[in-house]
Amino acid sequence: MKKLIAGNWKMNGLEAGAVSLIGEIGSKIGAEPEILERCDFLVCPPALHIHVVKHKIDHDHIPVAIGGQDCASTENGAFTGNVSAEMLKDAGCAYVILGHSERRSLHNESSAYINEKAARAHMQGLTAVICVGEQEDERESGNAYDVVAKQLWESVPKVSNAATTVIAYEPVWAIGTGKSATPDDVKAMHAFIREKLQENLAESANMRILYGGSVKPDNAADLFKVDNVDGALIGGASLKADQFLGIAQAV
């Protein structure tokens, strides 16, 4: 299976910067097209920049999929400030990140709510990248596995399969901190997630499990060697084309 190299641009940059970033990513992939034999690429720009980034992707034939960073749990309607799965689809998205820890903590999103969003994404034919991961105190108190199991059980619709869903394991203490989980910890958690997916879902075969949390070009090779690591969800390093591609080169 090809690794999915996914960039979460979060709420960074302005329109011109987003267009130039995807342009640079496109040029770098164009300079070493054989990388596409090992990697699929995805970028998730801020909602307001999706159109211009998608336009650049189409115009320059850049082999990168585009996704949203969140979607509403409802269909279109009177929900001020929300962006629907249907709108993301209409804008050319193939993916949407759901349940990122920043949304779980800063927006109080529950796993049940994320499950509703995932169902909406699935209805529109979007692949949901559903994030799970424990807080630092939960790991220190030995509860990481219980927390992740509960998040998986509650956030992932039972009809999910490899075409509709990607899981991203992102230990919260590793996001944006420069403190990545060790390959041994990642190995154990990804094996556990694989087992839980098999228990919970009728069709979990080949579902990708990404690792996210301070992935950089210099730690990516060790992480990608780990069993059940099917790619990476990348925050900070996805904002620099050379680092984003540096991570892909580690595959």
Dump strand ranges (E) for the chain: 3-8, 39-44, 65-68, 95-98, 127-132, 165-169, 209-212, 231-234
Q: Measure the CA–CA gap between 150 and 163, rounded to whole angstroms.
A: 22
Report the half-sphere exposure of 228 (CA within 13 A, side-chain side). Answer: 21
Residue of 49, 100, 122, 190 marked catalytic: 100
CB 11 within 8 A of CB 45: no
Q: Is 176 in the site for ligand PEP (CB under 6 A)?
A: yes
Whether residue 59 lies in the annotated active site: no
Min separation Cβ 170 and ligand PEP, Å: 5
Number of residues that make up the chain = 251
3-state helix, strand, coil in the chain (%, to 5): 50, 15, 35
Q: Which of 47, 207, 220, 233 binds ligand PEP (CB under 6 A)?
A: 233
Q: Is 70 in the site for ligand PEP (CB under 6 A)?
A: no
- Cβ proximity to ligand PEP, 181 vs 201, nearer residue: 181
Contacts with ligand PEP, 212-231, as mask; x by CB under 6 A:
xxxx----------------
Min separation Cβ 218 and ligand PEP, Å: 13
- Catalytic residue positions, numbered: 100, 170
The residues that touch ligand PEP, with contacts defined as CB under 6 A, are 8, 170, 175-176, 212-215, 233-237
